[in-house]
């Protein structure tokens, strides 16, 4: 997730985008393994409909977090949209939300029974944390976090029934039972902290480890889960990834599709050797990508247009899986 954190940082981000557009070679259309991109949905930025995170349901629909609107929406494969839930708005508009100055819905997890867990940063001790939404039910905060936290990427360790939560402003990975309760700090330190803008951001559990991006540091980290459940030291697996936001693993391999928000690109990252290549750019319809989801040979990219003056959207593209390394 990337947001305009302060006026000076927004200016710097916009300048960075402008510099990229002036110095980079003209972008080609989608390159392997992506092909035939198209915009599935366009959103109303003024209404806060800035898509932030996504999960794909078993029947191929998308559950999408609309960040500033604090809503969760269902998007059908043909683009039809249905509102699933709205989180309560803070009375002050979230002016005390750390780094932002406005409330923001962020990470998303869906369990097999259709229950959703949504991260919410509000600058309010009574609202900030993880909210649970049962099918047809009302949102309920089940994991409280302090007003100084900015919960962001989130994933479920299905072996233990625990959620891992990236706190972007405090540089902490929290852990809590999915049933709810007070979280504990599972990992913290310099590797997770923001050097500017946001620190730990996207997060996934994969092959016995927590993988997390540090957006400010431009790095993808692997944090092994020890047999006793504690965190081993963080292992940098790829660097030089400008504002890496959310990401998704390609099948059972360690290869990652990642959203490079400020660069307005999607990259295929190979943690085996730390290399990466660009597979989608603004020329393909990206508008500041924040998250990705991969189902079969279909890749979905959410662009929240936090920095770019453009319409937020969801892009869909064919994704060739022949390179999937087991």
Q: Is the pLDDT of residue 153 over 80?
A: yes
pLDDT of res. 321: 75
Distances (CA, A) of 99 to 214, 271, 283, 291: 16, 30, 30, 20
Q: What is the pLDDT of residue 145?
A: 98
Contact (Cβ atoms closer than 8 angstroms) between residue 34 and residue 28: no
Q: Stretch 119-134: mean pLDDT, rounded?
A: 98
51-144 carries CATH number 2.40.10.500: yes
Percent of the chain with pLDDT over 90: 86
pLDDT the model gives residue 257: 98
Predicted TM-score (pTM) of this structure: 0.91
Is the pLDDT at 63 greater than 50? The verdict is: yes
The rounded mean pLDDT for the chain is: 91
| Nearest one of 35, 55, 45 to 119, comparing CA atoms | 55
What are the sequence ranges of the domains in the chain?
Answer: 51-144
pLDDT class of 196 with cuts at 50, 70, 90: confident
Q: Is the pLDDT of residue 326 over 80?
A: no
CB of 69 closer than 8 Å to CB of 58: no
pLDDT for res 133: 98
18 in Cβ contact with 11 (< 8 Å): no
What pLDDT is stored for residue 322 in this prediction? 67
- C-alpha dist (Å) from residue 195 to 168, 203, 218, 304: 11, 18, 10, 23
Q: For residues 25-35, give the mean pLDDT.
A: 71
- For residue 12, what pLDDT is reported? 37
Q: How confident is the model at residue 1 (pLDDT cuts 50, 70, 90)?
A: low
pLDDT at 2: 53
């Amino acid at each position: 997730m990337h947001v305009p954190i302060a006026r000076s940082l927004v200016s710097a981000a916009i300048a960075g985008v402008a510099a990229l557009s002036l110095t980079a070679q003209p972008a080609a259309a989608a390159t392997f393994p992506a092909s035939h991109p198209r915009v599935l949905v366009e959103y109303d930025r003024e209404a806060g409909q800035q898509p932030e995170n996504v999960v794909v349901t078993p029947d191929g629909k998308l559950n999408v977090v609309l960040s500033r609107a604090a809503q969760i929406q269902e998007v059908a494969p043909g683009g039809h949209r249905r509102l699933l839930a709205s989180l309560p708005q803070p009375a002050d508009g979230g002016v005390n939300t750390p780094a932002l100055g406005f409330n923001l819905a962020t990470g998303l997890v869906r369990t097999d029974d259709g229950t959703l867990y949504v991260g919410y940063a509000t600058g309010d001790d009574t609202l900030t944390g993880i909210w649970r939404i049962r099918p047809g039910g009302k949102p309920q905060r089940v994991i409280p976090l302090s007003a100084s936290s900015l919960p962001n990427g989130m994933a479920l360790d299905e072996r233990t029934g625990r959620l891992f939560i990236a706190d972007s402003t405090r540089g902490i990975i929290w852990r809590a039972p999915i049933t709810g309760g007070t979280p504990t700090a599972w990992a913290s330190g310099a590797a997770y902290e923001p050097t500017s803008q946001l620190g730990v951001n996207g997060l996934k559990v994969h092959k016995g480890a927590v993988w997390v991006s540090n957006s400010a540091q431009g790095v993808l980290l692997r944090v092994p889960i020890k047999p006793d459940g504690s965190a081993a030291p963080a292992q940098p697996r790829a660097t030089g990834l400008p504002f890496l936001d959310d990401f998704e693993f390609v099948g059972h391999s360690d290869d990652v599709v990642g959203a490079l928000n400020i660069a307005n690109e999607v990259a295929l990252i190979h943690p085996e050797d730390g290399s990466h290549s660009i597979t989608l750019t603004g020329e393909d319809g990206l508008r500041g990508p924040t998250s990705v989801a991969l189902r079969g040979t279909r890749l979905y990219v959410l662009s929240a247009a936090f920095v770019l003056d453009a319409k937020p959207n969801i892009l869909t593209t064919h994704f060739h899986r022949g390179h999937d390394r087991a």
